Amino acid sequence: MTTHFVNLLEELRRRAARMASLVEDMVQEACESVIDANEALAGRVIRRDNDVDTEEVAVESEVIRLMALYQPVGSDLRLLCAVLKINNDLERIADCAVNVAERARHMERGTLARHRATVTEMATFVRTMLRNAVQSFAVEDVDMARKAFAEEEHVDALYEQIIKQIVAEGATSSEGMAARLDVLSVAKNLERIADHATNIAEDVIFLATGEIVRHTDGVPLSSEG
């Protein structure tokens, strides 16, 4: 029975890691679809969202089933709690990737050109954060999870920079406002992906150590019940 449960947990862990990999690919392709104005790639990202939604429900059902049937404790309990939360963040990241891809379908190229460098830089940081967070889950590595936090302030700074640029452009000309809002939407969704990646990294720290580091700048809150 215990061996069976351990095998089920490992299968769940692999399943969550596979979903993370799929979502990571979606983010990568969504960023490329915007930066390279690749509509075909954008369409592919949008179509894959259904797979993530289906998998999210399946993983959540399996977590609930294992909790109900095996009443896990210790590291097993932490794994199920972490998977439940990471699963939710991955689904939200996929939604953000779809939002980015949808903007790519009708992005006005002239407007994008003025912001391409900043968006590209932001996308690079966000993908690095997500990579570190997902990888830290796969190998349950706290140091790698903490690395995922490191890029967050760069992402926030770039997001702020894009907002300022767009506000400044809007002050000089009201033309092309829709296109500027598309760029803003892309930046906003990238910033959200970074937030979700941070959540995942925090859940990996909980998984590995039992410490809840949310809302604390990495310092554990008292986690007593």
Partner 1 sequence: MVSETRLDLKEAGVPARISPSGKEQDALSPRAEVSEAVIRADGVTIRYGEFAAVRDVTLDIPDRQVTAIIGPSGCGKSTLLRAINRMNDFIPSMSLSGLLTYRGADIYAPKSDPVDLRRRIGMVFQKPNPFPKTIFKNVAWGATINGYRGDIHELVERSLRQAALWDEVKDKLHQSAFALSGGQQQRLCIARAIALQPDVLLMDEPCSALDPIATAKIEDLIGELKAHYTVILVTHNMQQAARVSDLTAFMYMGELIEFDVTYRIFTKPSKQRTQDYITGRFG
Residue 73, phi-psi category: left (phi > 0), alpha (psi -120 to 50), beta (remainder): beta
- What are the contacts of 43-49 at 24+ separation with CB within 8 A? 43/101, 43/105, 45/97, 45/98, 45/100, 45/101, 46/98, 46/101, 46/102, 48/22, 48/94, 49/94, 49/95, 49/97, 49/98
- 75 binds partner 1 per the rule CB under 8 A: yes
The residue range among 20-28, 76-84, 156-164, 168-176 that interacts with partner 1, by the rule CB under 8 A, is 76-84
Rounded CA gap, 154 and 88, in Å?
Answer: 25
Position of tokens 């008292």?
Answer: 222
Tell me if 77 contacts partner 1 by CB under 8 A.
Answer: yes
Residues 186-215 contacting partner 1, CB under 8 A: 209-211
Stretch that binds partner 1, among 73-81, 94-102, 151-159, 175-183 (CB under 8 A): 73-81
Q: How far is the CB of 69 from partner 1 (least distance, A)?
A: 13
* Among 68, 74, 172, 173, interactor with partner 1 by CB under 8 A: 74
Does 4 engage in binding with partner 1 (CB under 8 A)? no
71 binds partner 1 (CB under 8 A): yes
Provide the minimum distance between the beta carbon of 70 and partner 1 in the complex, in angstroms, as a whole number.
9
